[in-house]
Amino acid sequence: MKDESKKLGENLRKIRTKKDITQTGLAEALGVDKSFISNIENGKTNPTLSTITSIAKALGVSSNELLK
Q: What is the DSSP letter of 61?
A: S
Boundaries of every domain in the chain: 2-67
- Over its C-alpha atoms, the chain yields an Rg (Å, rounded) of 10
- Residue 49: CB atoms within 10 A of its CB come to 9
Maximum distance among all Cα pairs of the chain, rounded to whole angstroms: 29
Residue 1, pLDDT > 60, answer no
| Rounded average pLDDT over 49-59 | 96
pTM (2 d.p.): 0.90
pLDDT of residue 42: 95
Residue at 31: amino acid letter:
G
Closest CA to 52 of 20, 7, 3: 7
CATH code given to domain 2-67 = 1.10.260.40
pLDDT of residue 29: 95
pLDDT of residue 68: 87
| Rounded average pLDDT over 44-56 | 94
